[in-house]
Structure 1
Amino acid sequence: MGGREEIMVPRAMGPTISPAWGNFRLAPTRKPVRIKKFKASSRKIMRDPSPTEMSAEPWASPQNQAAAEHSVCTPQPSQDQEQHPDQLCFESFWSELETIKQGGDYPDPDSARRDSRQSDGEQEEQWLVDVGLSNLISEDSENVENTLLLSTLTRTQAEAVQRRVDTYTMSHRKRNKQRHVREVFDTSFNQDLSDSQHSEELAKNSMTSVSKSAPEDEIFMTDVAYCEQAVILLKQAKLTQNNIQRRREDGTLPRVICPKCRLGVTRIQDLSHADVKKVRQLALIDMTALCDLIGLEVKRHKMAKRKMPESPLFGVPLATLLENDQKMDPATTTPLLLQKLFAFLEDKGVDSEGILRVPGSLSRIKSLQQDLEADFYAGRFKWDEVRPNDAATVLKKFIRELPAPLLTAEYLNTFSAVRDITELKQKLHMLNLLILLLPEPNRNTLKALLEFLNKVVSHEKRNRMNLWAVATIMAPNLFLHKTVPSRLTEGAEKGQVEKAADVMRLLIRYQDLLWTIPNFVMNQVRKLNENSSRRYQFYDRRFKNLLRKIHADSKEKPDKNTSEACRTVKIQIGDRVNGTMDFKVNKDSRASDLLTQFEKKGLRQRNGSMSSWDLYEVGGNIGERRLDCDTHLLDLYNSNSGGEWVLKIKPKASKGL
């Protein structure tokens, strides 16, 4: 099938394990590689999961969105792509670990554990702070912000919150001094039984029908919360455990199709900072609920303060480095040094055989690093004399020497734990949520790195670096950090090396998909903003009355125009609105049509040049969102009639030094 596999739905969710990974033990490359099968033990969920809450219209039904023009597909795996890493990949993996150890970047398990030691109560308290529900464990638990956030959660997400509050309460033995969070949840999710059953049936039908439409592809559905999809798979596993066709464990990666919502794809960089904060809170809740269901234990770590290096480039916190770089180039979102390294390697290195694998000269690398620190910002550095393998080694060294992991100390081990999930879609669900949780500098830098690695893979015929080779080389550099106890692997078993590189492989292959915000999260953000804008009308210290009024108000919305409408679009240049235009919206109108009509008017800048423009929705139930060109504007109008449409000039891309 050319690297694609046939699947059947419904199917059982595969068993998962939660191993206690130990410290690292380096194996010499000359040691024979033993093949060890990975045995997973099934985990029983001793509770009856509640029904899912489906996203309301206009989120498109996957049944109607599987057509080619509405599909977002990941690139097809190369016909030449190996299904498993070869012996050279194994040797390169252990060689890379040895290089990291010799360079002093190998984790010190004892010191890392001392820095990250937290009790269960502290873990749960920090988690509640991160999701914006810290008041649930304080004396002032009757907080309207808590209520508004809880009112947007699905039942499985709410259960995850409740478990954290219960753990915190038990840890501090304060049950009798605090109001129990169950009192809030009982009012927040008092749904009509028939509505709940209807929602669950819609979710099941959507998941089944989409999969039947393309049996050779994976359908990545985002209308239903990922944790609720896991609940459905668990129920199906109990009913049809012996009749499910399992995915062949041959290492291939299928094409993944993500049906588009009629409101368009929303990427994390398309939202305002205020909405991104809400996205991160909701993503953390859903990820935690998903981990509870599939049996992954997530322990986050905090790092002790460390002495800052004197170098202006290496070992500098990513946020600090970007802050300094933005003084020179305000538009930059990734460190200028990385931009230059990527540009140099794309020009001189992607065709070099063994790039990333073959190390550079130690003496030249040391000299190169010193020259960069002395001359890079002064603009005196000469790239003509740099060898590609030396630049690639410096690139990996830069990532390893960051004072905090690129994947952050909080979530580094959660990224690593993804390798023990057996279902591909659930691996992608976890990675999608984890990407949304990363701070903006880390997320942008990781994206730039993965785009470069994808270009290396695309030149496989010349550089002999396929996806497995790139993944096995880069995995230790990304998932090992001297400040965090590692969960990567120990020993030289073939299966362990494969799984250590598997997460890296998924990040490279499916990166475009992973940087999008799931539809169910966007729907929750809109509900949260909508309820927040009306809270002054319904503010009541009693949670029950507040939630009832919000729920009743949402049901009494007047029907919106479903045929056509005329919208006034603001034209904004810089911080000022310089004009307006009228646009007639019908059921077929898309954002691209509005942009085309606007460009025909020939609006030019003062210097006479034409500019590229983006269309945004601002206000209403969203802070600010840049629209995908395929957004159906009538659906957008019906979804957010209180918002404005604004045309803005596209920001210029960073050019580096």
Structure 2
Amino acid sequence: MSVEPWASPQDQAAAEHTRSKISPAAQEQEQPDKLCLESFWSEVETIRQGCGEADLDPTRRDSRQSEEGEQEEQWLADAGLSTLISEDSEDVDKAVLLSTLTRTQAEAVQRRLDSYTLSRRKKNKLPPRDVRDIFSSPIAQALLPESQNSKDLPQNSMASVAKMPFSAVTPEHQRAAPKEEFLITDIAYCEQAVIFIKQANFPLNNIPYRKEDGTLPRVICPKCRLGVTRIQDLSLADMKKVRQLALIDMTALCDLLELEVKRHKTGKRKIAESPLFGVPLATLLETDQKIKPITSIPLFLHTLLSFLEKKGVDSEGILRVPGSQSRIKLLQQNLEANFYKGRFNWDEVSPNDAAALLKKFIRELPDPLLTAEYLNTFSAVRDITELRQKLHMLNLLILLLPEPNRSTLKALLEFLSKVVNREKKNRMNLWAVATIMAPNLFLHKAVPSRLTDGAEKGQAEKAADVMRLLIRYQDLLWTVPNFLMSQVRRLNENSNRRYQFKNLLRKIQPDSREKTEKNSEPRRTIKIQVGDLVNGTMEFQLNINCRTSDLLAQFYRQFLRSPENGKGKMRRNGSVGYPDCALYEVGGNIGEHCLDTETHLLDLYNSNPGGEWVIKTKPNGGRGQ
């Protein structure tokens, strides 16, 4: 693993800020002040009033009233493990599903199976086969890599975790807020928690809550030689597997941190007749994609955020200063009547009214933006003491969100980050923005919440703390951890080996060929599929230092910018534009993966020798990607 950190420009700026001494007065300014807290409870009151206007359908069933075992059954289905309770599934299928899990992840699965088994026994039904019987079978043992056991994690990886200055092993009263945090993604988050607990010899969540000094540290994520994988880089099939594995790891982490979170069902609710407000995100997107196929967030939200970025980010007190309720109601009616007709005049809208419309749009979604299933888990993050575990949990939760919710949340956070960056003009720092926006995300009429229970100031600070983590570290949270990528690759490999006994002789020869080629410097044939401009192949010599950026540079020189094969398009200003291309890894142990420009290609070849490499044009990455 390279020690070169991957950090956003905001991280670098924060590092410079934290290197200088911060006076007590400056620290105090970073706390939620009285005005922020008043705004927090004003938002809470607005949400409460909104709940009174649209009560739940009486046919709605809360998840706490679910039949015994129903939650576990749904969890197993979401984790891709429903075959464990199926009578007609084969042992080899079960072994493939479980072979990629770490020991702690497998224990979390076992706890859900035990709970499900107990509930079925009460109904005099035969229990499913115990997962431990499957793990003890020769097939499962053969497929389960030894390194997946928490006791047998690679020594160098264990050492890298153990030698880091982790604050979890230091008593709370003896440490100050660190200036830098290391986020290790090569090892499953639940296995890291096991290591921390063993080293510290006490449960992580029994430590009293430490009030932050207002500054967030720079988070350093050591770069993997396979590069950074962002959510939008993977195919839908691979992301489905990522979500299943992320759910298992998140559940195991919750068990270790003793976080009791219940997943709520989506309640039955009368859908508003409005074309914009109170409409499910999926429905809005389905309508909008008929107008603009590549959009990933509702067109109304995209237009509203664009307006606020142009006219609102410099407005003093933006988000905090409430708009006129009468004007907002008239604006809503005008938008619903004229937005899709293209007749709405945004010049008549004030920034404060637009900000109020933004919060209203989020609040009135039929289901929470963070989803009914995971809203309580997002809220529970505030009770985790360690920043590292908070980021681990948030990273997994972001992966679990449905695509429309995740893209919409990202677009919102990108806008909020721009508001914070203009603090000198709008007087809205990170605490202020987070404190005001937290109730709009963490309170929803469809899901019971304990956000307002207990000491008011403490609850407001904790909710705002989670919100500011989402704003501050959003670039890190929208990446796929290396350990999940490794598990997806192993899952695909093991699925391909399901019939290995039937095809044993055919497989022996290719395997031996792959071993002889590893760590050599082979030549690769790259497929080129750049629309109507270029189609063909190119040869590329691999060596230990070559990266994706080197291959793409050769492609541009050879095919797009050469005097013989120039494929650029003349712009209005006289310059020449070229298509934005990327290298994709296709097949083998992955579905389709858009590669980071810093990916070391020889390492990638050794990781997936059966995959093809294809150069294609990048999809248009819009807001929220």
The within-5 A match list for 1:202-601 is: 202-211=156-165, 216-238=179-201, 249-490=212-453, 493-538=456-501, 558-574=515-531, 578-601=535-558
- 1:97 aligns with 44
Q: Distance in 2 between matches of 1:165 and 1:343?
A: 48
1:48-87 equivalences under 5 Å are 60=1, 65-68=2-5, 75=11, 76-77=13-14, 82-87=29-34
Q: Do the aligned partners of residues 447 and 320 (structure 1) sit closer, same or farther apart at CA in structure 2, a change above 3 Å counting?
A: same
* CA distance 1:575–1:368, change in 2 (3 Å): same
Asked if structure 1 preserves the Cα contact closer than 8 Å seen for 2:312 and 2:318, the reply is yes
Aligned match for 1:149, one of 97, 104, 108: 97
Deviation at 1:635, TM superposition (A): 0.5
Distance 1:92 1:162, change over 3 A: same
Cα distance, 1:95–1:647 mapped onto 2, change above 3 Å: same
Please give the TM-score of this superposition, normalised by the length of structure 1. 0.82
The letter of the residue matching 2:523 is C
1:578 Cα deviation after fit: 1.5
Q: What is the alpha-carbon distance in structure 2 between the residues aligned to residue 240 and residue 384 of structure 1?
A: 56
RMSD, aligned α-carbons = 3.2
SS of aligned partner of 2:437: helix
Output the amino acid matched with 1:67: E
Between 500-509 and 570-579, report the one with greater CA deviation: 570-579
Task: Write the distance in 2 (CA, Å) between the matches of 1:437 and 1:192.
Answer: 28
- Compared CA separation, residues 290 and 106, structure 1 to 2 (3 A): farther
| Paired letter, 1:594 | L
Contact 1:72–1:258 under 8 Å retained in 2: no
Counterpart among 618, 626, 629 of residue 586 in structure 2: 618
| 2:584 alignment partner, SS class | strand
State the secondary structure of the residue aligned to 1:253: coil
Instruction: Write out per-residue CA displacement over residues 188-207 of structure 1, whole angstroms, 9 at most, x where no aligned residue.
Output: 46876999755264443111
Q: Secondary structure at the match of 2:526?
A: strand
Q: Does 1:647 align with 2:615?
A: yes
Which string of whole-angstrom CA distances, capped at 9 and with x for unpartnered residues, describes residues 587-646 of structure 1?
110111111111123526586652111111001110000010100011011111111111
Amino acid at match of 2:585: E
Specify the SS of the correspondent of 2:446: coil
State whether structure 2 residue 76 is matched by structure 1 residue 128.
Answer: yes
CA distance in structure 2 between the partners assigned to 1:557 and 1:647 by the alignment: 24
Out of 627, 631, 648, the residue aligned to residue 599 of structure 2 is 631
* Offset at residue 107 of structure 1 (A): 9.0
Do the aligned residues in 2 keep the contact of 1:227 with 1:293 (CA within 8 Å)? yes
Moved more, 495-504 or 116-125: 116-125
State the shift of 1:386 in Å: 0.7
User: Are 1:106 and 1:481, in contact at CA under 8 Å, matched by a contact in 2?
Assistant: no
Greater mean deviation of Cα atoms: 436-445 or 481-490:
481-490
Measure the CA separation in 1 of the matches of 2:248 and 2:518. 35
Match of 1:168 in 2: 116
Alignment CA distance shift 1:384-1:282 (3 Å): same
Asked if 2 retains the 8 angstrom alpha-carbon contact of 1:66 and 1:210, the reply is: no
SS of 2:527's equivalent in the other structure is: strand
1:639–1:377 distance in 2 versus 1, CA, 3 Å: same
Q: Do the aligned partners of residues 360 and 160 (structure 1) sit closer, same or farther apart at CA in structure 2, a change above 3 Å counting?
A: same
Where relative contact order (Cα < 8 A, 6+ residues apart) is larger, the structure is 1
Paired residue secondary structure (1:482): coil
CA distance in 1 between counterparts of 2:36 and 2:461 reads 9
Do 1:613 and 1:650's aligned partners in 2 also have CA atoms closer than 8 Å?
A: yes
- State the shift of 1:500 in Å: 1.6
TM-superposed deviation, 1:329? 0.8
- Distance apart, 1:139 and its partner CA: 1.4
Q: Kindly tell me: are residues 185 and 487 of structure 1, through their superposed partners in 2, closer, same or farther at Cα, counting changes over 3 Å? A: farther
Report the Cα offset of residue 181 of structure 1: 2.1
Which deviates further from its counterpart, 404-413 or 301-310? Answer: 301-310
Please give the alpha-carbon distance, in whole angstroms, between the structure 1 residues aligned to 2:148 and 2:242.
30
Asked if the contact 1:618/1:646 (under 8 Å) is kept, the reply is yes
478-487 vs 356-365, which moves further: 478-487
Instruction: Report the CA distance between 1:653 and its aligned residue.
Output: 4.3
SS in 1 for 2:412: helix
By how many angstroms is 1:249 displaced? 4.0
Per-residue CA deviation, residues 93-119 of structure 1 (Å, 9 max, x unaligned), is 111111222334789699698433324
Structure 1 position 183 matched with structure 2 position 133: yes
1:391 alignment partner AA: A
Cα deviation per residue 1:379-415 (whole Å; 9 max; x = unaligned)? 1111111100000000000011111111111001000
Secondary structure, aligned partner of 2:186: coil
Instruction: Give SS of 1:103's match.
Output: helix
Number of equivalences: 581
Q: Which amino acid aligns with 1:635?
A: D
Cα offset, 1:185, TM superposition: 2.5
Output the CA distance in 1 between the equivalents of 2:92 and 2:284: 38
Whole-Å separation in 2 of the counterparts to 1:643 and 1:171: 45
Shift of 1:247: 7.3
**In the alignment, is the contact (CA less than 8 A) between 1:109 and 1:486 conserved in 2?**
no
Closer, same or farther: CA 652–268 of 1 in aligned 2, 3 Å? closer
Instruction: State the AA in 1 paired with 2:136.
Output: D
Stretch of structure 1 that moved more, 450-459 or 143-152: 143-152
Write the distance in 1 (CA, Å) between the matches of 2:567 and 2:147. Answer: 58
- Please tell me whether the aligned partners of residues 131 and 284 of structure 1 are also in contact (alpha carbons under 8 angstroms): yes
Identity of aligned residues (%): 67
Amino acid across the alignment from 2:128: Q
Measured in 2, the distance between the counterparts of 1:652 and 1:201 equals 42
3-state SS of 1:500 partner: helix
Deviation of 1:538 after TM superposition, in Å, equals: 3.2
What secondary structure, in the 3-state scheme, does the structure 2 residue paired with 1:586 have? coil
| Cα separation, 2, equivalents of 1:194 and 1:404 | 37
Contact 1:73 1:256 in 2 (8 A): no
Cα offset for 1:304?
2.9
Report how far residue 140 of structure 1 moved.
2.1
The offset of 1:364, in angstroms, is 0.7
Letter in 1 for 2:527: K
Change (3 A) 1:381 1:536: same
- Residues 41-78 of structure 1, C-alpha deviations (whole Å, 9 max, x = no match): xxxxxxxxxxxxxxxxxxx3xxxx2235x666862446
Amino acid at match of 1:587: I
